[in-house]
Amino acid sequence: MTTQTPSLANQPETSPNNSLDKSLNRQMIVILDFGSQYSELIARRIRETQVYSEVLSYRTTAQKLRQLNPKGIILSGGPNSVYDAHAPQCDPDIWQLGIPVLGVCYGMQLMVKQLGGQVEKATRGEYGKASLRIDDPTDLLTNVEDGSTMWMSHGDSCTRLPEGFSILAHTENTLCAAIANHQEKLFGVQFHPEVVHSVYGIALIRNFVYHICECEPTWTTEAFVDETIREIRAKVGEKRVLLALSGGVDSSTLAFLLHQAIGDKLTCMFIDQGFMRKGEPERLVEIFDQQFHIAVEYVNARDRFLKQLEGVTDPEKKRRLIGHEFIKVFEEESKRLGPFDYLAQGTLYPDVIESADTNVDPKTGERVAVKIKSHHNVGGLPKDLRFKLVEPLRKLFKDEVRKVGRSIGLPEEIVRRHPFPGPGLAIRIIGEVTSERLNILRDADFVVRDEISKQGMYHDFWQAFAVLLPIRSVGVMGDQRTYAHPIVLRLITSEDGMTADWAKVPYDLLEIMSNRIVNEVKGVNRVVYDITSKPPGTIEWE
């Protein structure tokens, strides 16, 4: 058991066909996805136990699962009712594999139905927090406190259990809140242990992973980095690799990892489209080129991008134009610097789960690039610009990328950098993007970041930034009336960006930022604070 190796999940702060060396996958839990919004979250919770997990389609056959040989299988929740005519079903031969199974919500109901039990529409649905009353505190519910809160979200209930099953726990409204066939190692829960609202949810998951599936904590940062470097060297050999560097944590971690693996055979290209925050392009080149001696080809394309956005106000058109222009610049510069055999992309595991954009070279069987995801997440590379892909991060979630970056020496200022949209400040300027408006927004945004850093609060927020509105408001400055732009402050807290709350920022800090922006940023005479959560709003304004 590896207890001293740094963990991908617990350090301080994919597809099996494309997996790394199989030694990383000996201890694996498979999640079969039935359309739950929490399927990725289940995978992340498993990885927090230092055990590798993958999300696969519910259509995955028992034969395929037998080949993968996971230590356990989890059936996710889903929006359907198991008695619907076209409800998704798993391969019934899964129950004969002898592999422990945990069904969550819909997954539990499907288990009950396929094994001969009965599921019906509940007399009374159950949504939100519920107190779990434990009837059998063994196996799955070991160390789960009786009466603890679990998160419910179901309108159906199990009314008759299959032969061999017993009830482990109930709630006020649900008789079968947790069930088990101990002999066959089949378990089900009607609640969602993976969400933070389920107080002892992670304890239940650990019970399944360690006690029932008998996994060991082998999914570690050190193991991942060592195996990945070996795989990169074996795959690339003496060929050249091109990486489009954005300065974000994904592409920066990838750059450091590739540089450790192949050294000067890596070429990093940074295309400055003019929409980054104040001082960031210069700082990026300084960090990579001067501090760590990773050569960066800096391409100043600011005028080209700004010209493309002349007179454009529609946010989607902005994104498309920026994406298309990025492709043009990338193509021109890659031909100038090339030839290259491989394109490195910062594809993460959520991209693998959510995207079917996989193109295979018929001669080699390798994936080839027709979409660049590492920079803008918009547009596609021309089909005649064919690279083989190197995607070393495609097995990782965002939090795991940060831990890998930290372990290989990526500066903390990049590791913990707030998320920043690919189109940058262009979509934080509502309306037309001009040089004047970019300068105003850069200066206002700098004040926000500078003040929260001075207060030691930078890492209290998921994101903190300014937005420039395309209107002018009346003001009084120096006994004269002014008509200038208002700035919107947007500071939010979140775990993963899927949902977010507006931050309850101290009034004193808001006052300091407002005073500085109005006094230091020419063209602004009013500052307002956005108190909209996500949902109903989004984090970005465009």
pLDDT at 133: 94
φ and ψ at residue 115, rounded to 5 degrees:
-95, 10
Which runs of consecutive H residues, i.e. helices, occur in 408-497?
Answer: 412-415, 435-454
**Which candidate, 401, 412, 404, 399, places its Cα nearest to that of 291?**
412
Can you give the pLDDT at residue 398?
Answer: 85
What's phi and psi for 190, nearest 5 deg? Answer: -85, -15
pLDDT of residue 372: 38
pLDDT computed for residue 83 by the predictor = 87
**Half-sphere CA count of 400, side-chain side, radius 13 A:** 32
Question: What pLDDT score does 474 carry?
Answer: 82
Q: What is the pTM of this model?
A: 0.77
Give 454's contacts (C-beta < 8 A, 6+ positions apart).
none
Catalytic site includes residue 436:
no
Active-site residue, 90 included: no
Whether 310 is catalytic: no
Active-site choice (154, 192, 259, 376): 192
- Which of 105, 176, 215, 268 is an active site residue? 105
CB 84 within 8 A of CB 39: no
| Residue 473, pLDDT score | 84
Which pLDDT belongs to residue 384?
55
Question: Measuring CA to CA, which residue among 504, 496, 492 is closest to residue 533?
Answer: 492
Token output for 235? 């795959």
Distance, in Å, from the CA atom of 113 to the CA atom of 539, rounded to the nearest integer, reads: 41
Please state, in angstroms and rounded to a whole number, the distance separating the CA atoms of residues 16 and 172.
Answer: 42
| Residues 219, 8: Cα–Cα separation, whole Å | 7
Residue listed under structure tokens 């590791």: 415
Q: What pLDDT, on the 0 to 100 scale, is given for residue 210?
A: 95
The catalytic position among 48, 54, 126, 194 is: 194
Distance of CA 382 to the CA centre of its chain: 27
Q: Over the chain (542 residues), what is each successive 10-residue block's mean pLDDT?
A: 41 38 65 88 91 92 94 92 89 95 94 92 75 92 92 83 94 90 95 89 95 93 92 93 90 94 94 93 90 91 95 92 90 89 87 55 46 37 66 89 93 89 93 95 97 94 95 78 89 82 95 96 94 90 91
Strands (E), 301-429: 342-344, 388-390
The pLDDT assigned to 480 comes to 74
What dihedral angle (degrees, nearest 10) is formed by the CA atoms of 48, 42, 196, 186?
-100
pLDDT recorded at residue 126 = 65
